[in-house]
Chain A
């Protein structure tokens, strides 16, 4: 519950502050969001399983974002940025689906 309030606070700050994203950052933003979503789903699943830990959540969130952005950056430097983005998104999306399936099993027992 408190986490959802945090999410809404972040959204509100973004709308009010209206930050401008530097151009060099723009390719990494969608990747960072998918990585963050992966951490969120993993955290939610752990919450459902009563073994959530905020330290692991924060570390997994930061490392996911940093590694995903680094992979895409590396891909850009090697000239395979688009393929690298695709690979990162595929793996993260797979994890998101797996976690969502676990959450679904717990919530609906189905």
Chain B
């Protein structure tokens, strides 16, 4: 095979030369057999080679398929485990809820002598600490990414946006707030982790529903919240709707303080 001349040194010339060199004919030294000459002897060794090639191909196909099956079964096992553990979490949560109400009942028995004022104070504090469910008139804000927003763009709802909305609601007098059914407590953090937003260290998904009980704006539009949502819509195209009405919030999970101790424990140690 002749090598094409390369005068201009252009890229296509280089490529042509490369191809010409790469496809050198292996059988160039063999003269064509005469039509009459016996050519069968030349085919004998090729058969075992073809057997090997067929074997090679089928082995590759089989092993690739086996790897696929392996991956699929691993995935299935993981999915299975996730659903089992999720069910177990739900079960234990139910147990916790039942025992919480038992404890509440026992406490009511023990504190039989408390005055109604003290009881009212207790329930008010429990409400503020977000350890009980809370329902009442309030506001529900639903906010979602801009239509067609790409991953990593500013047209998506960020942790910062949720923080702003929540802080605005606190400022206008909310006594309890939940984001996607995650009740906010004194130790709740709303923060981003990669693509996800974590509330109470749990990832929450779109659309984000922020429910607040007891804002002073119940039944009427609030300029602060509306202004914030309008800004988010204008600047980033975030889609949001606001509605007022009765809102029910779940009880929050209050974690034990890490360093603080009650007086008795402090005295004992």
Mask for A41-54, Cβ within 8 A of B = 1, else 0?
01101100111111
Interface of chain B, main secondary structure = helix
A46 to B43, CA, bound (A): 12
Given A10-B54, A10-B58, CB of A57 within 8 Å of CB of B19: no
B39: interface (CB < 8 Å) = yes
A19 to B59, CA, bound (A): 7
Residues 1 to 40 of chain A near chain B (Cβ within 8 Å): 2-11, 13-15, 18-21, 26, 29-30, 32-33, 36-37, 39-40
B216 to chain A, nearest CB (A): 62
**Could you tell me if A52 and B45 are in contact, using CB atoms closer than 8 angstroms?**
no
Contacts of B26 in A (CB 8 A): 42, 46, 56, 60
B32: interface (CB < 8 Å) = yes
B42 to chain A, nearest CB (A): 5
By beta carbon, the residue of chain B nearest A8 is: B54
**Could you tell me if B60 and A33 are in contact, using CB atoms closer than 8 angstroms?**
yes
Contact of A58 among B25, B32, B46 (CB under 8 A): B46
Contacts of A99 in B (CB 8 A): 23
Given A36-B56, A61-B49, A94-B23, CB of A54 within 8 Å of CB of B62: no
Given A33-B60, A49-B32, CB of A11 within 8 Å of CB of B42: no
Mask for B198-228, Cβ within 8 A of A = 1, else 0?
0000000000000000000000000000000
B55: interface (CB < 8 Å) = yes
Given A6-B47, A6-B51, A13-B51, CB of A33 within 8 Å of CB of B30: no
A99 to B23, CA, bound (A): 8
Mask for B57-77, Cβ within 8 A of A = 1, else 0?
111101100010000000000
Contact of A33 among B48, B50, B56 (CB under 8 A): B56
B110: interface (CB < 8 Å) = no
**Could you tell me if B50 and A7 are in contact, using CB atoms closer than 8 angstroms?**
yes
**Could you tell me if A61 and B53 are in contact, using CB atoms closer than 8 angstroms?**
yes
B70 to chain A, nearest CB (A): 12
Residues on B facing A (Cβ under 8 Å): 19, 22-23, 25-27, 30-33, 35, 39, 42-60, 62-63, 67
